[in-house]
Amino acid sequence: MAKKPLPPGPPIPGASDADGKRRMKLIIAIAVAFLLAIGLSIGGTVFFLGRDEATPDAAAEQAAGAPDGKQAAVYEPLAPAFIVNFAHNGRQRYMQVSVALMSRDQLALDALKQHMPLLRNRLVMLFSGQDFAALMTPVGKEMLRQQATSTVQELAQKEIGKLAVEQVLFTNFVLQ
């Protein structure tokens, strides 16, 4: 047998008005806090982002290059990524390396771009001649990066007469 709900009792005088006022005050307080948080967020963002542009020292420093007198770094990614294969313990293994060249001389880097097929060939030969087990360690990866840097620097010195590349950077390194 289902129970019948009880009919509402007589209203308690003044109870609904007090609850309604409390709820309204709570809603207004939450809305004010929310708007204050949004305003502070926008104000902080404008303050911090606008401060960098308004500083004359920062603009002069950017125009002159890096803070220690060097020119700003220029990065040239070599696309597509290098993919080489290895025979390791009777299994076929692969390495994919995405490379970027870091230079401080855009003109020298542009001159080196004419020799990109030769540069890519030397890097492929260097990468494919590595030991797969050694490449699995961080030290092996760093040694390969240093060898790639010296290979590119030797090529630049031979072909354009100066060191166009300061570093060779691996932006992606996958062994499988």
- Could you report the per-residue pLDDT of 7-17, keeping only the tens digit for each? 665 655 555 66
Strand, coil or helix: 128:
helix
**Over residues 11-31, mean pLDDT:** 78
**Predicted pLDDT of residue 8:** 63
Compute and round to an integer the Cα radius of gyration of the chain. Answer: 33
pLDDT digit string, tens, across residues 64-103: 555 566 788 889 898 899 999 887 788 888 989 999 999 9
Angle at 169 between CA 165 and CA 172, to 5 degrees: 150
Confidence of residue 52 (pLDDT cuts 50, 70, 90): low
**Token code pair at residue 150:** 């010296």
Strand, coil or helix: 67:
coil
**Predicted pLDDT of residue 10:** 60
**Over residues 49-77, mean pLDDT:** 63
Percent of the chain scored above 70 by pLDDT? 80
**Which candidate, 93, 87, 56, places its Cα nearest to that of 174?**
93
**Predicted pLDDT of residue 37:** 86
- Looking at every residue in the chain, the average pLDDT score rounds to 81
**Predicted pLDDT of residue 12:** 56
Residue 140: partners with Cβ closer than 8 Å, 6 or more residues away: 130, 131, 134
**Over residues 135-161, mean pLDDT:** 90
Task: Tell which wins on pLDDT, 62 or 118.
Answer: 118
**Predicted pLDDT of residue 54:** 47
Q: What's the one-letter identity of residue 142?
A: E
pTM given for the model? 0.58
Confidence of residue 27 (pLDDT cuts 50, 70, 90): very high
The phi and psi torsions of 153 (rounded to 5 degrees) equal -65, -40
**Predicted pLDDT of residue 51:** 63
Alpha-helix residue ranges (DSSP H) falling in 72-137: 106-113, 116-128, 132-135
Distances (CA, A) of 125 to 80, 83, 90, 101, 143: 16, 11, 21, 18, 15
CB contact at 8 A, 98 and 169: no
